[in-house]
Amino acid sequence: MNNEKKIVNEDEELKKMAPVLSGVNKENPFTAPKDYFEALPQIIMGKCQSNVPDKKWTWGIFTVYKPVMVIATVIVVFAIAIFFLFVNPWRPVQKNETDYNSFVQDEGMINDLSDIFDESTIIEAVLTESPENSSDSAIFEKDDFLMENPYYTKDDLINYLLDANTDMDNITQ
């Protein structure tokens, strides 16, 4: 009795709220093929007994591409990581590496110089060199070596050191 009353109330409410909709025939407009429901239980039972897996795998674009996209992303990320770790030309050079290169360069320079000059002359030249008077040629005018070897001027020595980009501090050390 209560249920019937409720349904009547709901119908009246629908009429008020949607008069056009409530006027539409509620009968099911769809049909099924002839004898469909007679045959269906047998088909279903047949499938159940042949143990058909209940989950069908559908090969949609998304199901195919999603794993591919994940793999592609992993490969790209890996490649970028390798590039930045090992190949990157913009990678900042580490301080130790600079020091080592500079050391090797300076040591080579000293060996070259020692073939031309004797060690004490080089040391003296370096020790007397200072930023304030590095361009001053006076100190070399008094140099015995230069006096004895007129082929080399002070400018030759300075230019040689400058061309070789010699770090004066390393030489003195």
Partner 1 sequence: MCNFTNRFLHSTLAETSDEYILSLIHDKNSQNYGFTILVQKYQEKIYWLVRHMLIDHDDSNDTVQDVFIKVWNNIQNFREDSQLYTWIYRIATNEALSVLRKKKNLFFLPIINVEKKLMESLVEDNYFNGDQIQMKLQKAILGLPPKQRLIFNMKYFDALKYDEIAEITGTSIGALKASYHLAVKRIEKYLTSH
Q: What angle (nearest 5°) sits at the alpha carbon of residue 31, between those of residues 27 and 33?
A: 160
Could you say whether residue 43 binds partner 1 (CB under 8 A)? Answer: yes
Q: Which is nearer to partner 1, 24 or 87 (CB)?
A: 24
Neighbours of 154 (CB within 10 A): 16
Could you say whether residue 31 binds partner 1 (CB under 8 A)? Answer: yes
The footprint of partner 1 on residues 53-72 (CB under 8 A) is 54, 56, 58, 60-63
Q: Report residue 76: phi and psi, to 5°.
A: -60, -45
Which of 17, 85, 93, 138 lies at the binding interface for partner 1 (CB under 8 A)? 17
Which of 1, 20, 93, 138 lies at the binding interface for partner 1 (CB under 8 A)? 20
Q: Which are the contacts of 77, defined by CB distance < 8 A and separation ≥ 6?
A: none
CA dihedral of residues 130, 134, 138, 144 (deg, nearest 10): 70
Give the binding site for partner 1 (CB under 8 A).
7, 14, 17-21, 24-26, 28-33, 36-37, 40-41, 43-45, 47-49, 52, 54, 56, 58, 60-63
